[in-house]
């Protein structure tokens, strides 16, 4: 599968950066659209909401990728860690990244890293089973 070895969560981070740096007037809490609910309330979607929803879907795909075993999964984990560290550094140092939408993207990257390593460790424990010898 071509997705192995490519950290998918770099996509929403790249979209965020393209919008933040190329169109500086756009705010992440600006209304994208509204939907009138059956209850009469109005549900408003923002740019940040849509980006976070996309990132959550990609997180699901990344978690599915983490269930694989082999050398390529190690590369996936390393690249996911690099993406998380880069996003965290950007959040702390770049003024355009100081928003709640970007902070949630960083947290999604953290969940990807922790989840990927946890799933790999858990899968490895199932693959390696040792039977105890009976003591007489």
pLDDT at 21 over 60: yes
Q: Compute the distance between CA of residue 108 and CA of residue 48 in angstroms, rounded to an integer.
A: 14
pTM of the model: 0.82
pLDDT at 4 over 60: no
Q: Compute the distance between CA of residue 112 and CA of residue 108 in angstroms, rounded to an integer.
A: 6
Residues paired with 44 in a beta bridge:
34
pLDDT at 41 over 70: yes
Three-class DSSP labels, the chain? CCCCCCCCCHHHHHHHHHHHHHCCCCCCCCEEEEEECCCCCEEEEEHHHHHHHHHHHHHHHHHHHHCCCCHHHHHHHHHHHHHHHHHHHHHHHCHHHCCHHHHHHHHHHHHHHHHHHHHHHHHHHHHCCCCCCCCC
Write out pLDDT tens, residues 76-134: 889 999 999 999 999 999 999 999 999 999 999 999 999 988 888 877 666 555 556 66
Q: 14 or 74, which is more confident?
A: 14
Give the phi and the psi of residue 34 in degrees, each rounded to 5: -130, 150
Q: Compute the distance between CA of residue 48 and CA of residue 44 in angstroms, rounded to an integer.
A: 11
Q: 132 or 44, which is more confident?
A: 44
Q: 104 or 2, which is more confident?
A: 104
Contact 125, 74 (CB under 8 A): no
Write out pLDDT tens, residues 52-71: 999 999 999 999 888 877 77
């Amino acid at each position: 599968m071509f997705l192995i070895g490519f950290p998918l969560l770099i996509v929403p981070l790249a979209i965020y950066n393209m919008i933040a740096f190329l169109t500086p007037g756009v705010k992440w809490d600006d209304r994208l659209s509204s939907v009138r609910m059956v209850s009469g309330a109005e549900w408003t979607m923002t740019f940040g909401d849509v980006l976070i929803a996309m990132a959550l879907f990609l997180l699901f795909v990344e978690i599915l990728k983490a269930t694989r075993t082999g050398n390529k999964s190690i590369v996936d984990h390393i690249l996911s860690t690099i993406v998380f560290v880069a996003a965290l550094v950007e959040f702390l140092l770049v003024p355009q990244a100081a928003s709640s939408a970007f902070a949630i993207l960083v947290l999604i990257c953290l969940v990807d890293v922790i989840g990927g390593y946890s799933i790999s460790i858990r899968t490895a424990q199932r693959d390696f089973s040792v039977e105890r010898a009976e003591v007489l």
